[in-house]
Amino acid sequence: IMVGKIKELLAAKIEEHENLKKAELRALQAQINPHFLYNTLDTIIWMAEARRMDQVVELVRVLSRFFRITLSKGKDWITMRDEIEHVESYLAIQKMRYRDILDYRIDIPADMRDGQMLKLTLQPLVENALYHGIKNKRSGGTITVRGSRLPGDLLQIQVEDNGAGITPERLDEIRALLASDTGDTVVGEGGYGISNVKQRIKLYYG
């Protein structure tokens, strides 16, 4: 009986590890999606054609930094400093594309930035704020990433936008789907990033 229990525990642990790696791979694939890369390369092309060479150099540099942190040499955990740099790189790229409608602020205290966190956690949330909040507003949009300390030595990070908003009914629907165990494809269009983050956090912490 004991041997059977041990085998079951080992099998469950292996399955959990495989599921975690699948979720990690899907997160990487979502960020190295062809549309994001093609759109960024298109931006580089028109900047080069317009002889805006300083901006071309800056955009290539930021894009390189974005993918360097995305891959992170296969590590699952990175410092919050690197995670924030990853978000800043993503937002800098998008700001060059959406010049008139996007601004952003990163407000996370320096003493929080040396802690470790699960990588690829913030960027999907920021992307969701951009595509479902700011783009629909069409002007004067701001995304804010804010960090604070909570009692019990806990850290809180919030992603906010002043975009088009969401109906209470849709918000309740998303919350219910994320609270369920029905998988990460049910949130609907634009919800993949949020559900993927939720799935990976659940696989790590239970």
* pLDDT tens digit sequence for 3-29: 777 878 888 878 777 777 776 656 655
- pTM here is 0.79
For residue 205, being part of any structural domain is answered with no
Exposure string over 5-27, b if 16+ CB within 10 A, otherwise e: eeeeeeeeeeeeeeebeebbeeb
For 190, residues 6+ apart whose C-beta sits below 8 A from its C-beta are: 128, 131, 132
Q: What is the pLDDT of residue 25?
A: 59
Q: How far is Cα 70 from Cα 47, in angstroms, rounded to an integer?
A: 25
Q: What is the pLDDT of residue 33?
A: 64
Q: Find how far residue 176's CA is from the centre of its chain.
A: 21
Residue 122, domain extent? 32-165
Per-residue pLDDT tens over the stretch 29-55: 555 566 788 889 999 999 999 999 999
For residue 63, being part of any structural domain is answered with yes
For residue 172, being part of any structural domain is answered with no
Q: What is the CATH number of the domain that holds 46?
A: 3.30.565
For residue 127, being part of any structural domain is answered with yes
Q: How confident is the model at residue 186 (pLDDT cuts 50, 70, 90)?
A: very low
Q: What is the pLDDT of residue 191?
A: 54
Helix boundaries (H) for the chain: 2-31, 34-49, 53-71, 80-97, 123-129, 135-137, 168-179, 192-205
Q: What is the pLDDT of residue 159?
A: 94
For residue 181, being part of any structural domain is answered with no
- What is the chain's Cα-based Rg? 19
Number of domain units in the chain: 1
Taking 60 as the threshold, does the pLDDT of residue 56 lie above it?
Answer: yes
Q: What is the residue-wise DSSP string for 20-53?
A: HHHHHHHHHHHHT-HHHHHHHHHHHHHHHHTT-H
Sign of the torsion angle spanned by Cα atoms 69, 76, 73, 15: negative
Q: Which amino acid is at 50?
A: A
For residue 178, being part of any structural domain is answered with no
For residue 65, being part of any structural domain is answered with yes
For residue 194, being part of any structural domain is answered with no
